[in-house]
Structure formats: C-alpha cells, structure tokens
Amino acid sequence: MSATQTFSVARYNLDATLTSGQAFRWRKADSGWVGVIGRHWVRLRSDAFSIIADTATPVEDWSWLRDYLQLELDLTTILNTFPEDEPMRNASEACSGLRLLRQDPWECLASFICSSTKQIVQIQQIIGLLCERFGEPIPALPEFSPAYSFPTPERLARATEAELRACKMGFRAPYLLGTARKLAEGFDLARLAAMPVENAREQLLSFPGVGRKVADCVLLFAYGFQTAFPVDVWIMKALRQLYFPRRRVTMKRMHRFAASHFGPYSGYAQQYLFHYIRTKSRSPNNVR
DNA sequence: GCCCAGGTGAAGC
DNA sequence: GCTTCACATGGG
C-alpha cells in the first residue's frame, strides 16, 4: 500500500533545492521529483503553499522526510541575516525558495568523495551506479524505474577497487574504499554531530579523499553546521567576480572573508551564491 | 584536439 | 609554509 501526505510549507523551491548540487539522487519525473531517502522511495511535488509526498509503502511517521527537507525551518529569518550587498540581493532573488537539506552523513561523505573535479551530472551517474550495484532494492511505485538504497559502508568495504572504478569514479575509488573500510571498522560518524565544528571538520579530514572542501560540504549538508562554507571552483569564481574583481585571492583569504562577511548562516549564503552563479552562467545569452 | 568539472595528496621548493 | 602536478572520465 502506498501513502500520500501533504505538508504545509511556503517558499520551498524544490527545483532549485534538488538541482543545486547538494544531493545527487533526485530525478525529474512527469510531475515532481523522484528520489530515495534512507530506505524510503519518494516522489515530491510542490505548489505555492505545500509539498506533497507519495511513497510506495505505508508510512506511520514522516519525521524522516520532515527532517530531510528541514520543513520546520524559518527561511525568512535566515535570509534576513544575509549581508545587504548587491551580490547577495541578486542571489536571494534569483534563488527564491532554495533550501539546504539535512542528509545522511555517510551518504553525503561518500558522495562528495566522488565529486572532486566532476560535473554534477557525472556525480549523479557515479552515485546511481554505486546504488544499483551495491545498494538494496527498494519498493517504488509501479510506473517508476527500480530503486535502490545507498550502499552501506560495510558493503563497499567488501568491494574491490576495480569494482568501484567500474562505477566510473576513476582515481577516487581508493579514497572511497579507504573511507568505507574505516567506517566498517567502527568509526562512528554520528558522534561528530555533538562536536564543535572545528573538531568535527578535523575528524572528517582524517578520511582519505577528504580535504577542506569535501569536509565542509558534509559539515553543512549532513550535520547542519551553518558556518561551514565549501569553496569549490564555482564559489571561487563567484567570490572573485562579485567581491574581489580583478584581484588575486588566496583560498585562505576567501575563507577569512566568508567567515567575516556572510554572517551566522554563511553556509546557507554559500549555497545561494553557488546556485546563482551556476544558473546565471548557463543562461541563454551566456552559454558555456 | 582543447579546456573544464562542487579536489585531494604527494612531491618539490 | 606554499606551489605544482598526477589522478579518471565525460561534456562542451
């Protein structure tokens, strides 16, 4: 038996949120978006005042979805903390209703280990292959393609490097394998949630294939550390273009600027800048 | 063929 | 400390 539930929420832009490079398992369907959250297959649709969720199996407790979508969050409060400069005004306007999700730490960590110098469409492809080959089948509504859970660390720890490379992740395979093994041997990712952000980052940096950028993505997208500020090539481009025109800027300087300029929700601001600069550079009069 | 993509780790100064 | 380079793979 399937289930349908309507959640009352305003200003939630599913399209922007699910295409903004924080999660990689969502596919556009005829109506809405289809994805997997933990052990749940789900289709999401939205209108101006609500999000409608369809599942393939009965659901008693929807907290997994409320938490993932962060439905209780007051977006206006956060937007009001953004600096009142022109770049942020433009980004806020262009990305109206963009939200940060709250993802599973392991899935988020594994996904971003696979993300380095890959385009988002390719990251989606890698993660898709990983789930098909190492995840568990999950019931989906009949008219949709088969769904799979994200593979556990234990399952990936038993895979070979060649099997992982066959998922098109290239030189990232040994990194993912090393990280999966460390977790399978008992490293507890959940305890990072209770740490100060600097300590949690230090823990993440101890995994192979995890540097400052990947660590910050996990801190922000999985643990909700609101000051984590991932700096990738797009954010570098955005900061240079919008805040440091025609000046040389080091990575250190960018992090310092981010920490002092964007306020207590700088991670949120970062996501707005990221989506803004990416969608802007793809507009019809500026094709790349 | 070229350059680039939600980078990291190791080697060289 | 900082800079440079190799590392797979696919899109434009």
pLDDT in tens, A158-199: 999 999 999 999 999 999 999 999 999 999 999 999 999 999
Q: How many domains does chain A have?
A: 1
Q: What is the pLDDT of residue A1?
A: 79
Asked whether strand B has any atom less than 7 Å from the CB of A149, the reply is no
Nucleotide nearest A232 (Cα, C1'): B6
The answer to whether position A47 is within a domain reads yes
The answer to whether position A232 is within a domain reads no
B2 C1' to A79 CA distance, Å: 41
Q: H-helix or E-strand containing A126?
A: helix A120-134
Q: What is the pLDDT of residue A246?
A: 79
Residue with the bigger pLDDT between A121 and A283: it is: A121
d(CA A95, CA A90): 8
Mean pLDDT of the A102-122 span: 98
Is 80 exceeded by the pLDDT of residue A284? no
Q: Residue A43 is part of which domain span?
A: 3-221
Greatest Cα-to-Cα distance within chain A, rounded to the nearest angstrom: 59
Instruction: Find residue A6's DSSP bridge partners.
Output: A52
The answer to whether position A245 is within a domain reads no
| pTM (whole model) above 0.95 | yes
Nucleotide nearest A288 (Cα, C1'): C12
Each residue's pLDDT tens digit, A226-265: 999 999 999 999 999 999 987 889 999 999 999 999 999 9
C-alpha to C-alpha distances, A24 to A17, A27, A128, nearest whole angstrom: 11, 9, 8
The answer to whether position A229 is within a domain reads no
C7 C1' to A254 CA distance, Å: 26
Asked whether strand B has any atom less than 7 Å from the CB of A220, the reply is no
The answer to whether position A228 is within a domain reads no
Is 60 exceeded by the pLDDT of residue A287? no
CATH of residue A137's domain is 1.10.340.30
Each residue's pLDDT tens digit, A263-280: 999 999 999 999 999 999
Q: How many residues does chain A have?
A: 288
C5 C1' to A243 CA distance, Å: 29
Q: Is A283 helix (H, G, I), strand (E, B) or coil?
A: coil
Q: Nucleotide B3: nearest residue by CA–C1'?
A: A288
The answer to whether position A64 is within a domain reads yes
The answer to whether position A278 is within a domain reads no
Q: What is the pLDDT of residue A247?
A: 83
Q: What is the pLDDT of residue A288?
A: 45
Nucleotide nearest A207 (Cα, C1'): B8
Which DSSP letter does residue A247 get? Answer: -
B12 C1' to A190 CA distance, Å: 39
A168: left (phi over 0), alpha (psi -120 to 50) or beta: left
The answer to whether position A266 is within a domain reads no
CA pseudo-torsion sign A91, A93, A94, A96: positive
Mean pLDDT of the A80-96 span: 98
Mean pLDDT of the A113-135 span: 98
Listed as ranges, the nucleotides of chain C within 7 A of a protein C-beta are 2-3, 7-12
Listed as ranges, the nucleotides of chain B within 7 A of a protein C-beta are 4-9
